[in-house]
Amino acid sequence: MIGSIVSAIVIGAIVGALARLIIPGRQSINIGLTLIVGIAAALIGTLIASALGFANTRGIDWWEHVLQLALAVAGVMLVTQMRPGRTGRTDRT
């Protein structure tokens, strides 16, 4: 149980960071929110992969990790769109 929580945190951190690298441009979210999105994507990706039957294969579970990364990219894009940008500019009319 503890091992799976620690692995979810580690994989989530990696997946979240990779998602931010894949998305072009600058994202207006901090590293803490990136970690939360990455951890959520890792957990949800594992649940989906388990339901589809490809979570536990011999060797590295590449398809599971690709699914987790895709979910993290979608999550980071969604959170970025929901949060206001911090560009420092003010729009004056």
- The answer on pLDDT for 11 being more than 50 is yes
Of 4 and 63, more confident: 63
Q: What share of the chain is helix, strand, coil (3-state, %, to 5)?
A: 70, 0, 30
Written as one letter, the residue type at 93 is T
* Average pLDDT along the chain: 82
pLDDT value of position 30: 86
Q: Residue 74: its pLDDT value, please?
A: 94
pTM of the model: 0.78
Q: How confident is the model at residue 71 (pLDDT cuts 50, 70, 90)?
A: very high
Residue 86 is predicted with a pLDDT of 56
pLDDT attached to residue 14: 92
At 64 the pLDDT is: 85
Mean pLDDT across 38-50? 89
CA distances from 63 to 48, 51, 74 (A): 11, 13, 17
